[in-house]
Structure 1
Amino acid sequence: MSSPLFADRPAPQHSERGTVDALISQTRRLRGELAAVRRDASVAEDDALWRWQRALRDLAVHQLDDLGSHLDQLKAGRPVGSVPDVTGGTAQDGGPRPLPGRVGSSEWNLLTDEVSWSAEMYEILGRPVTRGPMTLDELPSLVFAEDSALFTAMVTDCLIDGKPIDGEIRIVRADGQVRTVQLRAEPVLDADGCTASMWAVLRDVSALRRGERAVLASRDSLSHRQQAARTEHRFARELQDAVLPSWRRSLRLSLSGPAALELAASRLPSEPHPLTGGDWCDALGLPGGEALLAIGDLTGHGVVAASSLAMLLGAVRGMGMAGIGPGPLLGHLNQLVDSSEQPVLGSALCARYDPMTGMFAWAQAGHPAPLLFRDGTGRALTPPDGVLLGATSGAVYEQAEVRLRPGDLLVLHTDGPARPTDATGTGAWRDRLLTLAPRLAGTRSARECATTVVEEFGRSERTDDACVMVARIGG
């Protein structure tokens, strides 16, 4: 029966694991059948054809062992925390066993000086058939200079000591190509136990070795990139710790006055990039007794996000201390981000709060609006116009005001919670925050309120960090 696999008719499609299991079974069955054929061979050992066939069967068994090892690795999947070694099995010398390649056979008769080569030998060594086979004395002229000593030792072991040999050498063909070949040879002894001839099987493993070098180079490159990523992650975390020390300790701020403010903030890290995202928040007491509140999210992770955050946060604090209002502050911040050597995009919300009057003035750059919780219910404030930082040059940011009353809770957050892995929209997450109104109404402090929000959203899977800031207005 002919095979069902043809070039113009694809094989039936299976699941990846099922296909691998089937290939493993086929490989094991074929390996067993080949081993059985090798055991059943009963031809006299002085038959040159039999020796060549036996060598090919041995090579085929090695190749099937390698294939089985590779399929087992494929089935097991990538080992956790390491880079898989895909160079194959292990030979007697501890190195990787070669995979299939072009095979040629040869025999040198030491008594008659006769030499016989298969057609593949000529192809491997790049020698025209018209020139005939090379003698053992001529063969070293093809061997790569650095491998000459190894080749001489191998042939000596075979001819003088009567040992079978198996090793790799490099040869230089007449056309200048350097090939790596595996040489397997055995001595043929006469009736007196002396070496009468040497037969050999030569296999071109050049393509295999090039592939292995490419694999090793790729593995080294991957390891280097992984190490670089770990170093970058550590540096970015240290930079953020230096820039936002108070954030790491859960930011808090209290202001006294008729409409006193108590502030607390917390962060919800994501799994892919813990501690190194672009989410940030800050609060600063100003000289006139007011408070500057700021929260935002920069694109990217790692060192770029951390360095951009350091620049941005320094600018926010400096302009806040200079008395610049939220709208103009975001305009200057947009100009700074737009002219940065490392272009980024970011959302931001800046606000000034006066505890004497309860006035909350704010502006936003593509950022979610604050949520106001009052008398047991919540709503999102109507946002003034404002585009993302870095989106366009010369952007103007409007400013809005709302008067807060004792007992009010104001929740500011980045859009990290609005991008969960289940792709729930921003509106759904805002509504989920608003449903917390009854629970938030029962809290006694800004810290307790922030903890309630973190407990609610801490169990959610997110593709980005999140930052939550809670302002509680006291009596």
Structure 2
Amino acid sequence: MPSHLFADRSAQPPEPGPVDALITQTRRLRGEVDAVRRGAVADDGDAEGRWQRALCDLAVHHLEDLGRHLGQLKEGLPPAPELTELPAGTSGTDRPDEPGPEDRRTRVGSAEWNLLTDEVHWSDELFQIFGRSPEKGALPLDELGSTLFSDDQPLLTAWVTDCLVDGRPIDGEFRVVRADGRVRTLHMRGEPVLDSDGCTASMWAVIRDVSELRRSQRAVRETHDSLQRRREVAQTERRLAVELQEAVLPPWRGSLRFPHRDTAALDVAAHYLPSATGAPVGGDWYDALDLPAGRSMLTVGDLTGHGVTATSGMAMMLGALRGMAMAGIEPGPLMGWLNQLLETSVQPALGSAVCCHYDPAHRLLSWAQAGHSAPLLFRGGSGRALVPPEGVLLGATSGASYGQAEERLEVGDVLVLHTDGLAPHGAESGRTDVTGRLLALAPRITAARSAQECVRMVIEPFDAGEREDDSCVLVARVRG
């Protein structure tokens, strides 16, 4: 598997086990190299010892970077983005920090500039790092800055001045533009070499190519920032969706009694169950509404999708449903108009719904459905699902027609309407399972004294479950 130190190579992060082993090995190597560095003694005249100490310093620095980088890889490193910024005068055909085959083999080079003889010595690796032909010779110290980004040139000048005049070591990074137009980030560690009189005679340096490492770190930072922005956007969208939902759905607290004087009026209560997995708010709705001539409307429904789009679509559908119900449109034709509305909506979606009109004077329930679970009727200690009239999902078929059914109710009857979020996610028998569990509650539901008590009984088996979608439950009880 290719090394993940090179961000320009396409690879998948290794498994956690190998990464842990690499981290352990890196720490052991760092300790061994650090011990060699501490034990290395070199005087000013010992060139070999000086290079040994410099290389040990560089190795320790490299292993520290490697350890931090492997820690990031353990959490999963994202693909490195391409850089788009190029310095003035570079070719637009080459990507910055794009390594050639020779760059992948060469990472560290050395140099020494003799101030007394003007001699310059570069290692073969340093020529490869700078992309410079050995035939052209090494760059003198005063020409080295010509290869740098204009922004980094003053920085290198200050470092060299401090090193030659004040005897301060150099330890920093700068960017160079190679002759082939590629941009590389280099890390330099260097020190002055003093003569017998204490004057600076030469300057040596070890230069390491850290382009891929810095690019990987940059990718991690950018991905972290991107994830943070996405998290903030998601939180804002969720807050907006919840606020819109709360503004549209009835804010019931306890049972709601319709202001009819008829003894067969309805006692209604409802409950909204959010997803147990923390998924964004969906397009579920419930509603109960007084209609002209003493009638009542009951409805539940659901639009596909989640978030602000689904919630705003739900608000549009519920507003249209309320308006058409107040205008006296019966449930069957009303479903047809909702289907046409959803079909011509800017945001395409599918929806399911059930709509009931109840006439308390005759205890007559007229209802229609669009691909939705039929209402459950509980009476005398037992329960059953009403036989659904014809009706396909809203938005599924242009010009669809919807049937309408009627059911005569009795005092004490209980109707339960719910959306499909109660069912286990992805289960083929979800509706059947939910219906069976609800019908098993028939003795308790029919013995309840209020619709709110019925709601508590209905949601109890599902409220602690691992629902992957939100859901609504509406209960209507015929008062005597």
**Fold match by TM threshold 0.5:** yes
Unaligned runs of 5+ in 1: 1-14, 87-99
CA distance in 2, matches of 1:17, 1:258: 69
* Shift of residue 248, structure 1, vs aligned partner: 5.5
Are 1:135 and 2:146 matched, yes or no? no
CA distance in 2, matches of 1:184, 1:424: 69
CA distance in 1, matches of 2:237, 2:372: 28
CA distance in 2, matches of 1:27, 1:385: 69
> Residue 297 of structure 1 contacts residue 348 of structure 1 at CA under 8 Å; is this kept in 2?
yes
Cα distance 1:327–1:421, how it changes in 2: closer, same or farther (>3 A)? closer
Letter in 2 for 1:381: L
Are 1:35 and 2:34 matched, yes or no? yes
Are 1:207 and 2:206 matched, yes or no? no
Deviations 1:106-138 (A, max 9, x none): 011122222110112112222211011111122
Deviations 1:156-180 (A, max 9, x none): 1111111111111222333333332
* Shift of residue 29, structure 1, vs aligned partner: 2.1
> Residue 111 of structure 2 contacts residue 120 of structure 2 at CA under 8 Å; is this kept in 1?
yes
Are 1:380 and 2:396 matched, yes or no? no
CA distance in 1, matches of 2:427, 2:22: 36
Are 1:337 and 2:336 matched, yes or no? no
CA distance in 1, matches of 2:28, 2:338: 70
> Residue 251 of structure 1 contacts residue 282 of structure 1 at CA under 8 Å; is this kept in 2?
no
In structure 1, what is the equivalent of residue 419 of structure 2?
414
Matches within 5 A, 1:162-201: 162-201=167-206
In structure 1, what is the equivalent of residue 157 of structure 2?
152
Are 1:252 and 2:251 matched, yes or no? no
TM-score for the superposition, normalised by structure 1: 0.86
CA distance in 1, matches of 2:369, 2:427: 27
Matches within 5 A, 1:96-111: 102-111=107-116
Deviations 1:89-116 (A, max 9, x none): xxxxxxxxxxx97211101112222211
Letter in 2 for 1:450: V
**3-state SS of 1:180 partner:** strand
Cα distance 1:46–1:392, how it changes in 2: closer, same or farther (>3 A)? farther
Deviations 1:372-413 (A, max 9, x none): 111111221111121111111111111111111111111100
Count of residues in Structure 1 that have an aligned counterpart in Structure 2: 441
* Shift of residue 241, structure 1, vs aligned partner: 2.1
TM-score for the superposition, normalised by structure 2: 0.85
> Residue 420 of structure 1 contacts residue 460 of structure 1 at CA under 8 Å; is this kept in 2?
no
Q: After alignment, is 177-186 or 384-393 more displaced?
A: 177-186
Unaligned runs of 5+ in 2: 1-13, 81-103
CA distance in 2, matches of 1:291, 1:396: 23
* Shift of residue 442, structure 1, vs aligned partner: 2.6
Q: After alignment, is 454-463 or 57-66 more displaced?
A: 57-66
CA distance in 1, matches of 2:203, 2:130: 18
> Residue 421 of structure 1 contacts residue 463 of structure 1 at CA under 8 Å; is this kept in 2?
no
Q: CA RMSD in A?
A: 2.6
In structure 2, what is the equivalent of residue 460 of structure 1?
465
In structure 2, what is the equivalent of residue 306 of structure 1?
311
**3-state SS of 1:145 partner:** coil
> Residue 256 of structure 1 contacts residue 355 of structure 1 at CA under 8 Å; is this kept in 2?
no
CA distance in 2, matches of 1:139, 1:16: 43
**3-state SS of 1:297 partner:** strand
**3-state SS of 2:142 partner:** coil
2:224 to 216, 219, 233: 219
**3-state SS of 1:419 partner:** coil
Letter in 2 for 1:406: V
CA distance in 1, matches of 2:315, 2:451: 26
> Residue 241 of structure 1 contacts residue 248 of structure 1 at CA under 8 Å; is this kept in 2?
no
Matches within 5 A, 1:247-396: 247=251, 249=253, 252-254=256-258, 255-273=260-278, 276-396=281-401
> Residue 251 of structure 1 contacts residue 266 of structure 1 at CA under 8 Å; is this kept in 2?
no
In structure 2, what is the equivalent of residue 63 of structure 1?
62
CA distance in 2, matches of 1:302, 1:466: 14
* Shift of residue 421, structure 1, vs aligned partner: 8.2
In structure 2, what is the equivalent of residue 97 of structure 1?
none
* Shift of residue 439, structure 1, vs aligned partner: 2.0
